[in-house]
Amino acid sequence: MKKNMYDYGFVALLSLLGLYALTNFYSYMDNYEVAILVSSVAGFSYLGIKWARFRYFFIASFVLTFLSIYLYQGDLGQSESKFLLKYILSSQSAIMWMTALFPLSLLIYWFYLFSKKEFYGNFATCMVWIAVVFASAGLLIRWFESYLIDVEVGHIPVSNLYEVFILFCLIASLIYLFYEEKLNTKKLGPFVLIVINAAVGFLLWYTLAKNADVIQPLVPALQSYWMKIHVPANFIGYGAFSVAAMVSVAYLLTENIFWRRHLPAKEILDEMTYRLIAIGFIFFTIATILGAVWAAEAWGGYWSWDPKETWALIVWLNYAAWLHLRLIKGLRGNILAWWSIAGLLITTFCFLGVNLFLSGLHSYGEL
Amino acid sequence: MSSMRFAISMLSVVGLASIIGTVLQQNQPYESYIVNFGQFWFELFEMLSLYNVYQATWFLLILFFLVASTSLCVYRNTPQVVKDIQRFQENIREESLKRNKYALEVPFKDFKRLELIDFLKGMQFKIREKKINGQDDLIIAKKGDFQKLGYIFTHMAIIIISIGGLMDGNLVFKLKESMGIKQIEMQDKPISEISKKSWLEISNFSYRANMLLAEGESQDVAVIPVKDGYLIQDLPFSVSLKDFKIEHYASGQPRSFESDLVIKSKKNGEILTRKISVNKPLTFEGVTIYQSDFQDGGSRMNLDLIDLHSIAGPLNMKAEVFKHNVMIVDNKKVNFEFEDFRLFNILDIGPEKNKKPKNVGPNFRFKIRDEAGQAREYETYQLPMMVEDRYFFMSGMRNSPQEDYKYLRIPADADRSLEGFTIFKSLIHNGKKIDKAANQLAKKNLIETKEVSQDLANSFKAIFENFVSGGYNNIAMSIDSNVPEEKQEQVASTYIKIIHLIADQLILDYQDNNPTSTPFNFDDVTVFSQDALNGYSDSFFYGSNFWVELRDFDHIQASGLQLTKSPGQFWVYLGSIMLVLGIFCMIYIQEARLWIVRKKGSKKITLAFASNREHLEFEKFVLDTKDKIKRFYSH
């Protein structure tokens, strides 16, 4: 009964937030954006009810964000003079905290794997949660900062490689944390955090070598409410596939007696891979379809065989075949695990390689 | 053909072909392929249609086979699926129920058959009842039939999407082309001269065509690029462009492109006036019009040709983008071909590590073609740009489109104009002034020699005039041929010093004679004088005697529109919705069957479960259901 109280409380809080946004910013929104806002409130409420910890995460991110907004007082220059902004609550600093906490949690997870002391496992999970809060607060604050530059420049921070890499870290971690809790698989943390830290490494390099963290205004093709749906949906797909591949690595390691003693049971790993790929596949399908609808509106055709589109199709076919073999042919075991690891390579190429090596309509994040 | 193996191998080929299509840039001009691959590979790749893989006949054929294979698969399996959905597996044997992995016995006081059935129905089970052995009760329950429908949904969806895609492909044209009814036009011609074989009628039911429309212009046909040629698509209306607008962010980057269009129907003369922009297309008579890009629409420019190597005054020239101007220079024809004018140019400018996008103002591009037909390309900016804290006029030159531009930098004077350089140029060509400067310099005796003589002044002058006739390159050549190698470096630096000093002196003299003149009002005019010497010297490698200065212009833009008729879109979207629903059903609906047996007179029931997917989730479901049934009886 008590749990229900919290559920209602969270839903009420979200609805209030949504109402606040609607009453204050309605004149800046089109109907689609209102619909996106309403469904976000519904979606996050659902997540919060299904998953209690998500509520704390959500509230923590928003508290940090609002604190930051309060400190800025409408002036971007404050980030240089105010201590809290300069070191914690400007988007740059929040993201730097995230990039520090992910490697730390990777280390603790590995320590936990061999020490087997629950304390370290909980500690590592806790670090990931804090990193995730910083990631999401960092993005939200960046969103706000872009409006401080100029109302015309302001946009949701999912428009270039730098921003989507943060989004990737955020979503992949959340997906992992969800299954870690539901299937009690803390011992997979050491593996999953590898792929997240690879993204963190790229992000750091990209920031330092290319100054990628500067907020740029949107090119005309990206000025659409579609971006708010298409990109996050895609990254749920990418995130789930990446985590699945790391679980598959653990699955293959259990062939070895040494690792078998340290890792969860094979059936659980198998189940988790399946669930991750399934949820990733659904979101990836939806994202690709929404991308096609957007392309029809912006580029004049729902499918142009643009390199990104083509690689998205290859990724889709790959996981479609994976699910097909598992669900219809009942295939299990190492082949599927190897396949899911290969899937990560294809996914990475689609996500990053296309931007690095190929040119096309999706060239929003060239190096 | 309906086998999975066939489908998978076809899919792999599609995947591979798609990868080739992403690696090999598609639909480029064929010349660039020849340059990249060489004649042999170019022809081989062309034979395989690798430059437009996705429109290649073999690619479409594979897609067709895939659709056929999937259709066959659906056709074969649907009856079975339907039967499975209707079937309740009533004829199950008692022994197999006992051997069931999840078998469980639940004791009860009272069987409560009807309540039990209601209870199961409440749990979303569908129920069938039966007597076995003539006396025992058998309840057959099942749920999650939609999971099986998911299978049909997803496969149907793929067929529908593919058919939609094929409807929007160019199959019909391919067929007509192979029968010789239609033909791709390869040459650039006025529309009126293009053969009817290369025209597609208004009735063509699917196309993606382009239209380039200059401000004030009107058109009623569009162009479809095909391979290395194009087709003309007749439209059911005419489009005219009243105005094209680009709006910019404060930093100069483009924020929006907008076209004010007037569309007039050919059928009934209906007129529609509308503004379209990126992400906001317009549909009229089944054709959707998109803003896709923009370019120059024939801007008019008023230009001055400034001879870089003589003191002749500027030649005036009126030019228009996309037109050619022929000038007679030294009895030779020089052909200026103007190709583009851009009002805004956003370049990343600033110190390394802190470059910021900035609008540097208008530029224009042209080719200079000599009598032999050789052309060089130029790109010149109207306004001076800041480089290393000084302002320069910039003009890039390259000998072929494959090269990068090499920039000639002419320093702007204190008024940020070219005037200072023009004065400078006239000074360094003025023999008397050079004499005077050389004499002054010799008298000042700045060079470490003891004799002050006319000879020295004369040799200063000779060095300087050698420079004037060919830049530093001339100096280097004469040093190379006259000075022993070990002394070359020393002599070179002395010569350069002399040239700098004379140039400085020329400017100082000029300032003394023209105290009100402003171009040289610098804190340190020697910086300007050195930049001017460098610019002058580099201009010998500029490939043209003329600096083209843009005096003023009349900007005319052209809007790039895309016109699409896409009847397949509806089917693709419909298929997509089915696909998502289907995947959702397949993955998230738990299919389960439950048998409950009660032997006559017995005080317990036997439960048995089965599912087509017995994974962890199902085990949880079984435990859950058992609990509920136990609780049902314990109340």
**Measuring CA to CA, which residue among B140, B189, B212, B170 is closest to residue B63?**
B170
Rounded to a whole number, what is the largest CA-CA distance in chain A? 63
- Residue B622 main-chain phi, psi, to 5 deg: -65, -50
To probe the interface with B, which of A229, A299, A318, A349 has the most B CB atoms within 10 Å?
A: A299
Query: A152: distance to nearest CA of chain B, Å?
Result: 7
pLDDT of residue B330: 75
This prediction's pTM: 0.84
Based on C-alpha coordinates, what's the Rg of chain A? 21
Instruction: Mark which residues 279-308 of A lie under 8 Å from B by CB.
Output: 281-282, 285-286, 289, 292-293, 296-303, 305, 307
* Displacement of CA A31 from its chain's centroid (Å): 26
- A152/B249 touch (CB, cutoff 8 Å), yes or no: yes
Cα distances (Å, whole numbers) of residue A218 to A95, A135, A156, B252, B464: 21, 22, 10, 12, 54
From chain B, pick out residues whose CB is under 8 angstroms from the CB of A313.
Answer: 18
| Chain B residues in contact with A277 (beta carbon < 8 A) | none
- Chain A within 8 Å of B470 (Cβ-Cβ)? no
The ipTM assigned to this model is 0.91
Per-residue pLDDT tens for A78-95? 888 888 988 999 999 999
Is B54 an 8 Å CB contact of chain A?
A: yes
Residue A45 and residue A1: Cα distance in Å, rounded? 18
**Left, alpha or beta for A330 (phi > 0: left; psi -120 to 50: alpha)?**
left
- The per-residue pLDDT for B352 is 66
User: Does residue A329 surpass a pLDDT of 50?
Assistant: yes
Minimal Cα distance from B575: which residue of A?
A289
A22 Cβ under 8 Å from any chain B Cβ: no
Residue of A nearest to B289 (CA): A300
pLDDT tens digit sequence for B547-575 = 999 999 999 999 999 999 999 999 999 99
Residues 6+ apart with CB under 8 A from A90: A68, A79, A141, A145
Q: Does A268 touch chain B if contact means CB atoms closer than 8 Å?
A: yes
Residue B252 C-alpha from the chain's centroid: 20
Q: Please, how many CA atoms are within 13 Å of residue A111, restricted to the half-sphere of its CB?
A: 15
Q: Which of residues 322-351 of A touch B (CB under 8 A)?
A: 323-324, 327-329
Q: What is the CA radius of gyration of chain B?
A: 41
Q: Is B502 exposed, middle or buried (0-12, 13-18, 19+ CB in 10 A)?
A: buried
Residue B290 contacts A, CB cutoff 8 Å: yes
Inter-chain contact A297–B281, Cβ cutoff 8 Å? yes
Considering only the beta carbons, identify the residue of A152, A296, A314 that sits closest to B255: A152
What pLDDT is stored for residue B345 in this prediction? Answer: 86
Q: How far apart are CA B292 and CA B536, in angstroms?
A: 43
Cα–Cα distance measured from residue A34 to residue A39, given in angstroms and rounded to the nearest whole number: 9
Among A50, A150, A289, the strongest candidate for a mutation testing the B interface, having the largest count of B CBs within 10 A, is A289
Tell me the shortest Cα–Cα distance from B577 to chain A, in angstroms.
9
Q: Token digits for B76?
A: 């074969």
pLDDT greater than 60 at residue A1: no
Asked if residue B221 lies in contact with residue B234, where contact means CB atoms within 8 angstroms, the answer is yes
Packed helices A334-348 and A307-327: angle between N→C axes, nearest 10 degrees: 170
A252 touches chain B (CB under 8 A): no
- Name the helix (H) or strand (E) containing B577: helix B568-588
Q: Give the model's confidence band at A34: pLDDT under 50 very low, under 70 low, under 90 confident, else very high.
A: very high
Residue A52 touches partner B, C-beta closer than 8 Å:
no
Q: Contact B460/B491 with Cβ under 8 angstroms? A: no
Q: Is B184 helix (H, G, I), strand (E, B) or coil?
A: coil
User: What confidence score (pLDDT) does residue B22 get?
Assistant: 84
pLDDT at A112 over 60: yes
Asked if the model's pLDDT at residue A141 lies above 80, the reply is yes
pLDDT tens for A219-276 read: 888 888 999 999 999 999 999 999 999 999 999 999 999 898 889 999 899 999 999 9
**A13 and chain B: CB distance < 8 Å anywhere?**
no
Tokens of residue A155, six digits: 């946009």
A297 with B580: Cβ contact below 8 A: no
Contacts of A354 in chain B (CB under 8 A): 22
Chain B residues 577-616 with a CB less than 8 Å from chain A: 579-580, 583-584, 586-588, 613, 615-616
Which tens digits make up the pLDDT trace of A7-27? Answer: 999 999 999 999 999 999 999
* Cross-chain Cβ contact A217/B253 below 8 Å: yes
**Low-confidence residues of chain B: pLDDT under 70:** 1-2, 351-354, 445-453
Closest to B566 measured CA to CA, from A293, A19, A146, A347: A293
For residue B573, the chain A residues in CB contact (below 8 A) are 293, 302
* Distance between B406 CA and the closest CA of chain A, angstroms: 24
Q: Is B212 helix (H, G, I), strand (E, B) or coil?
A: strand
Task: Extract the tokens encoding B264.
Answer: 């007039």
d(CA B373, CA A161) in angstroms, rounded, equals 46
Per-window interface: A 219-238 vs B, CB < 8 A:
219-221, 223-224
What would the 3-class secondary structure string for chain A be?
Answer: CHHHHHHHHHHHHHHHHHHHHHHHHHHHCCHHHHHHHHHHHHHHHHHHHHCHHHHHHHHHHHHHHHHHHHHHCCCCCHHHHCHHHHHHHCHHHHHHHHHHHHHHHHHHHHHHHHHCCHHHHHHHHHHHHHHHHHHHHHHHHHHHHHHHHCCCCCCCCCCCHHHHHHHHHHHHHHHHHHHHHHHCCHHHHHHHHHHHHHHHHHHHHHHHHHCCCCCCCCCHHHCCCHHHHHHHHHHHHHHHHHHHHHHHHHHHHCCCHHHHHHCCCHHHHHHHHHHHHHHHHHHHHHHHHHHHHHHHHHCCCCCCCCHHHHHHHHHHHHHHHHHHHHHCCCCCCHHHHHHHHHHHHHHHHHHHHHHHHCCCCCCCCCC
Question: Nearest CA to B247 among A218, A145, A365, A227?
Answer: A218
